[in-house]
Amino acid sequence: MLVIPAVDIQGGRVVRLYEGDPSRETVYFNDPVEAALHWQAQGAPMLHLVDLDAATGRGENRKVIADIAQNLGVPFQVGGGVRSLEAAQALLALGAQRVVVGTVAVKAPGVLEAMLETLGPERVVVSLDARGLEVVVSGWTEATPLQVPEACRRFWAAGVRTLIYTDVRRDGTLRGLDQGPVRVVRAAWPGQLIAGGGIASEADLEALRGLGVEGALVGRALYEGRIDLGRWGRLLA
């Protein structure tokens, strides 16, 4: 199972948000390039970059992402405000292995289909963000009537093959994994599944592996030393 460090960028710095609230941030690195290289040195197989400002429409951190791309030697994916084919192509041109889309997948399925057709399913990942099983969009600020199992069916039918499920109720809280919703997603999603939200320990990673999840997005637990990325990688070797 891949353990993928999350590098969330807000105002040019690497932060973690409590339950996705932009006003409740903890800054871990002032230099995102330093953060990315730190996790690369610790053995990260890839990185997950999120432009939080672009996700909420308050700005963007494109130059920061470009700087990371120029210095990084491992694959990375980028999400946050990727709501057009042109935006996706621009991020891939910077060097991203794949783009991560959330809001557009729910609210503009035609755009998602254009991305999949033009870029290929190996370059487009859908982020399914939910409060338990209730799907949310627009930087987690907008609830929708869509439930996770139905979303999984729609995305698979559209041609998506890699899905990220984040339980936003727990993201950034270190409260531990809620296995119930993950089981529902795993049962509904036949493709590659990456999960995040509340992961606080290696026991949570073991639980995800036991559920058949192929990857874990980890943020605060890595930044605060609760999970040793290098040790976990050796355990899987």
Please list the pLDDT of the chain residue by residue as tens digits (237 residues): 899 999 999 999 999 887 677 788 899 999 999 999 999 999 999 999 999 999 888 889 999 999 999 999 999 999 998 999 999 999 999 999 999 999 999 999 999 999 999 999 999 999 999 998 999 998 778 899 999 999 999 999 999 999 999 999 998 889 999 999 999 999 999 999 999 998 999 999 999 999 999 999 999 999 999 999 987 765 554
| 129 belongs to the catalytic site | yes
Cβ contact 128:153 at 8 Å: no
List 127's β-bridge partners, or say none. Answer: 164
What's the confidence (pLDDT) of residue 140?
Answer: 78
Annotated catalytic residue, options 8, 51, 53, 204: 8
What's the confidence (pLDDT) of residue 237?
Answer: 44
| pTM (2 d.p.) | 0.94
What's the confidence (pLDDT) of residue 233?
Answer: 61
Return d(Cα 170, Cα 166) in angstroms, integer. 9
What's the confidence (pLDDT) of residue 141?
Answer: 81
Domains and CATH numbers, the chain: 2-236 (3.20.20.70)
> Is residue 117 classed as helix, strand or coil in its secondary structure?
helix
Category of 81 on φ-ψ map: left (φ > 0), alpha (ψ -120 to 50) or beta = left
What's the confidence (pLDDT) of residue 58?
Answer: 84
Question: Residue 214 — φ and ψ, nearest 5°?
Answer: -85, -20
Annotated catalytic residue, options 51, 129, 167, 204: 129
